[in-house]
Structure 1
Amino acid sequence: MPSALSPSWLRRRARSQNVQGVVSIQEFGEAERTAKDIAEQVAKFFSQFRSDFLDVTQRARENFANQEFAQHQINSQIRLLLHRQLVNQCVEVINPALEDLEESMKRELWVSARRIFAQAIAWRSDSELAETFFNSVTRRLFTLVGFDDDLEFRWFGGIALPVVDPGQGEVLTFRLRTTTEKLIQAVLEAFDIGQDWQNLQRDSANIASAIEKHLSETWEATMPVEIDVLKPVFYRNRGAYLVGRIRYLTRVSPLIIPLRATDSGVVCDAVLLTENLTSRIFGFTRSYFHVNTKEPGAIVAFIKTLIPLKPVAELYTAIGYSAHGKTSLFRAIYRHLSNSTDRFEAARGIPGMVMTVFTLPSFGVVFKVIKDTFPPSKKITRSQVMDKYKMVFAHDRVGRMVDAQVFEDLAFPRERFSDELLQELALEASRSITITDTDVIIHHLYTERRVYPLDLYLQEMPENLVLSATLDYGHAIKDLCAANIFPGDLFTKNFGVTRHGSVVFYDYDELTLLQDVTFRAIPEARSFEDEMSSQPWFAVGANDVFPEEFKKFFRFPDAARDAFDNVHGDLCEPETWIEMQSQHEIEAPEFFPYPEEVRFDIP
């Protein structure tokens, strides 16, 4: 008997409909079986995705314990590709049954498949991820603009995250019996990190002392009553993290314990007890955590109690589910549009030469569209720009590059765009934009969290904040280079300041790997004519960079200029960059997503 996915009966049905205009009970049954087979295929590939994803995620524990940091990076790269790979494989299996059908019949089948799939995943603890997977397959098989209520799982209403009760599911609860130090020791002993603790008593005492000091200053209490900790350990890069919360009466405080693996055992490197520090750990400028859980929604719900201002989309992304993070952002955008009245407008700052950037003032995201043409100074193509963004997605962002999501064929109401922005989009980005009487359809779009453009920040902020941002700008460049990233264009307009005061990079069209750059000193002029010439008197290779010229990028207010020169003047010396290249070849440095001053003083 032929498979129900075989399109032969569908062709017969189409011919029958053309002749009779009637669907028989037998044909209806065959259509339902085909829809069921389609739903089962999507469910099978989704289950394979989850299995492969968790298999790679589980390797993080061994990588951490054995200090196999290079292997962990490889596993991170593998995991990033899994969702797209399994969606592609699913499409290859399903497409033959649909490709020859009339659009109306194809839609009818898919509507039935969606209904059956929804019933099949209702019991799953990761059903939200299953819906995202189904939508990804749908958008590969159908040409959709905006969203389609019939074919996709769409929900723009409120989101009810799982209820996370203390001591239940993914949460361990510890109650104070004697001292805070004993309580913390019980917490640490509950986790098998894959390696012995270097000094459990010392670490417990360090953490307990920090907790008691924090509580006495903020809650006028000295000891926690209960501590909840998520069972899964959070692994990322060289670090591991225990994620929990302190409860006292109705109050909650984050409790994040960063861990480091050493040759002599695992060390508790710090304890983070504020919403601000916790938000940085789960920030949009960091790589994704490896968290071994079958209930990602419960993990997100718990973290949301620690940092309630952090968007759900960013939390799903932070724990590795970037595809569902993208879905959550998509829904948040449309939900916000239905509950606001302001209009899209050009983003603040100097307009870019490669991207048209706009924003909705009441929503903390910027939207970036590639322009049709670039000026001659930008020796780059459209496809190369897209490759740069793919590179950022896959690279360790070390807290210095803003994560970007890419969308295709989004439709927004035309009435929500300012006239000036509509004119700019029509003139500058017609390849990426279709403007109709009612909608603005964006065929290729990047979104990023909105930050304060650094050039404006330096003009508008008080002197103390300007000084801090100026110095952090230099640190940001050095951190990027330590991660093998050369920003290319160092003008402050390409950097921004987060609400935590960190300087980050967000303009990627000239970004390249540090190892691919040749840093050179400018040769001495041979004559007065050479020195006065507007053209270089020496040969310049395509990848040659002259750090002595960087001073033209470093434009700061007078009060901050001297401080920058004192701390980061070496950025104008080629030897500094060559040294950073050589250091990266030896061993990639360690980046801590929390301030140096909160780290424990451990010999």
Structure 2
Amino acid sequence: MSSAVTPKHVAYQIIHHFDKNYRWFSRITKGAQERFEKGLWQQTQAASKERISLYDVSVSDAVAEIYHQVTVHQENDHFWQQMKVRYSVLLEGHPQFELAETFYNSVIGRIFRHQKIDDSLMYIHPSQCFLAGKDRHHVINSFDTTTTVAKMYDTIFTTYRFNISYEDLARDKFRLEKALRKRLDRKQLASVHTVELLKPVFYRGKAAYLIGRICMPDETLPFVLALQTNDKQELFVDALLTDRKDLSVIFGFARSYFMADTQNPAEVVAFLHELLPNKKTFELYMALGHFKHGKTDFYRNFIGHLAETADQFEAAPGIRGLVMMVFHLPSYGVVFKIIKDEFPESKKITREHVKDCYRLVKMSDRVGRMADTHEYVNFRLPLSRVSSALLTELQQTCASSIEISNDQLIIRHLYIERKMTPLNIYLEQETSPEKIEHALNELGLCIKQIAKANIFPGDMLHKNFGITRHGRMIFYDYDEICLMSERNFRELPKSDDPFALDTLSVAPNDVFPEQFEHFIVGKMHLKNILKRLHGDLMSPTFWKQLQIITARGEVQNFTPYNEAMRFPR
């Protein structure tokens, strides 16, 4: 350890660790094409987990190196302030400067245990302004539309090459041309002056996407080619998507992160934001796998929102949870979840178990049915914006997780999640029989698809599901989830003895699906609809069959867009 180590030297070490991390991230991401071409679906899932894990490993390596060379807590604030100044110089012209800022924040946060949230020490605000479009040529391929639609498709498929053959490329091109002519009228088609596609192919699960837009003088439309492989590992085009709603669902917050290789993530996100203006940029960074920077971008968006609004934080609407205290800011689209200090006797779990469940979801394929959550430490709220009722409730239920310091409420540990309408509230308010049936059908599909992804939801009360603005059902309560193999699905005993259940020997991991109808939804007419649509959920046989599938390690294919958009097979 040397006292001669300078802020400039440490800043250089941090950028070195970031660059090494991004090379590692890119290497895993680049491998997505080969995994897709060879149908290495289990390796695809393992690569996704590895890519999520590597960030903390890189931060730990950087922090360990700093501790080895600097007596951290003997240095004054001036040392760390100068280090940020030197680091900012290194960021000038860096193609991933925004991600490097977040990496720096993570290192400083780890060193000071997230106690010093200060813009003179960290990048609470960006070090530089990103000018969208400056590097657009690095991330976009433009295609000539002055000839014919058929020739344009020829050029696209010549540009985007795969190391496997197509099932029937001529058929796919014909379908694509026909679909485009059906979506655009003759006037629109004649006015198209450019088709732009992002250079990186977006891989997720068993699909690959070419993502771009059709440019006309007065409007632009999404232009997305969805590719899959058949049982012979031959490529085929599954759909042409030109509706923003379909593209928005593909980039939904309940889906796993894409593998899309680029050295210019800010430019890719800027382009995607032009396609999806209703998505926040932090959501798009997260979708690309940069979830740590997504958290930074979220926090910047959040403090900007606080500065422009005056409403108060309050308990979230709905039934209070037994494990989590949930609150929100009515004008903002997320909820904040804090683990309670004590759980009732019915919840035989620990605080660490709850954290493990949330980690399991983070590492799993969320198949569009489990909300992504983001973990924060020492998150600060202005005390003046916290309603007195909420503060009282937090002090009663989560005292060990909160602290009041001057004019701030500091939350030592919390999760942030997208806000949705809880299903129990939706069903109380909705009067349309068609919408109620749709919601209950979505509920059954949600439970089944989570199970096919090897997650048993555990607590399936309808209050633990939310419905999105697109009408999709999402599960968001994870304290009782587990792998499918960890449950024993049993039949209820058939007996005329009314006390037979009382004498039944029940192990902690035993589950009786025939009882599900009594607690998933409460009212009889809702139960009847659910049983009509998804009665197999109440059968032990259904769950045992799913266990056989998940035990074989079979990776399921979950198509995120509307089934009606798929070309016939």
Residue 170 of structure 1 and its aligned partner are, at CA, apart by 0.9
Residues 146/39 of structure 1: CA separation in 2 closer, same or farther (3 Å cut):
closer
CA contact under 8 A between 2:484 and 2:550: conserved in structure 1?
no
Q: CA deviation at 1:466?
A: 1.4
From 199, 205, 210, give the equivalent of 1:231. 199
Verify: 1:563 aligned to 2:535, yes or no: no
Q: What residue number does 1:597 align with?
A: 564
Match of 1:191 in 2: 160
Aligned CA distance change for structure 1 residues 264 and 369 (closer, same or farther; 3 Å): closer
Q: Return the alpha-carbon distance in structure 2 between the equivalents of residues 510 and 47 of structure 1.
A: 38
1:310 counterpart residue number: 279
Cα pair distance change 1:317/1:161, threshold 3 Å: farther
Q: Does 1:355 pair with 2:324?
A: yes
| Structure 2 counterpart SS, 1:235 | strand
The answer to whether the 8 Å contact 1:453/1:494 transfers is yes
Give the equivalent residue in structure 1 for 2:540.
574
Write out aligned runs for 1:203-282 (5 A). 203-216=172-185, 221=189, 224-262=192-230, 263=232, 265-282=234-251
**One-letter identity of the residue aligned with 1:138:** I
Question: Which among 51, 61, 68 is matched to residue 23 of structure 2?
Answer: 51
Unaligned runs of 5+ in 2: none
For the pair 1:424 / 2:393, whether they are aligned, the reply is yes
Match of 2:84 among 114, 121, 127: 114
Instruction: After TM superposition, give the deviation of residue 505 of structure 1 in Å.
Output: 0.2
CA distance in 1, matches of 2:99, 2:252: 21
CA 1:514–1:577 in structure 2 vs 1: closer, same or farther (change >3 Å)? Answer: same
Q: Is the 8 A contact 1:458 1:556 kept in 2?
A: no
AA at the equivalent of 1:411: R
Equivalent pair of 1:165/1:171 in contact (CA under 8 Å): no
Q: Over residues 4-60 of structure 1, what are the superposed CA-to-partner deviations in whole Å (9 max), with x where a residue is unaligned? A: xx33x4xxxxxxxxxxxxxxxxxxxx5xx5111101110111111011111111110
Q: Secondary structure at the match of 2:241?
A: coil
- The amino acid across from 2:427 in the alignment is L
Partner-residue secondary structure (3-state), 1:271? strand
CA distance in 2 between counterparts of 1:229 and 1:527 reads 68
Taking structure 1 as reference, are residues 462 and 205 closer, same or farther at Cα in structure 2, changes over 3 Å only? Answer: farther
TM norm structure 1 = 0.90
Q: 2:448 aligns with which of 455, 478, 481?
A: 478
1:39 equivalent in structure 2: 11
Contact 1:180 1:223 in 2 (8 A): no
Percent identical residues: 37
The match for 1:25 is none
Q: Does 1:508 find its partner at 2:478? A: yes
Which consecutive residues of structure 1, in runs of 5 or more, have no partner in the other structure? 1-5, 10-29
Structure 2: distance between partners of 1:161 and 1:492:
45
Distance change >3 Å, CA 70–CA 223, structure 1 → 2: farther
Cα shift readout 1:123-159 (whole Å, capped 9, x = no counterpart): 1110000000000000011144472111101218997
Letter in 1 for 2:311: D
Asked if 1:154 corresponds to 2:154, the answer is no
List per-residue Cα deviations over 1:529-569 (Å, max 9, x = no partner): x24xxx63111111100001101123266665443222201
CA distance change for structure 1 residues 300 and 483 in 2, over 3 Å: closer, same or farther? Answer: same
Cα gap change, 1:518/1:599 in structure 2, threshold over 3 Å: closer, same or farther?
same
Give me the whole-angstrom Cα distance separating, in 1, the residues matched to 2:18 and 2:134.
Answer: 25
Task: Decide which of 439, 442, 459 is 1:489's aligned counterpart.
Answer: 459
Whole-Å separation in 1 of the counterparts to 2:26 and 2:228: 23
1:264 deviation in Å? 5.5
Q: Is the 8 A contact 2:325 2:337 kept in 1?
A: yes
1:519·1:544 contact (CA, 8 Å) conserved in 2? Answer: yes
RMSD over aligned Cα, in angstroms?
A: 1.9
Question: 1:498 maps to what in 2?
Answer: 468
Q: Residue type of the partner of 1:511?
A: I
Length, aligned pairs only: 566
1:486–1:513 contact (8 Å) kept in structure 2: yes
Q: How does 1:174-185 map to 2 (within 5 A)?
A: 174-185=143-154
Structure-2 change in CA distance of 1:377 and 1:321 (3 Å): same
* TM-score, normalised via structure 2 length: 0.96
Q: Does 1:335 align with 2:304?
A: yes
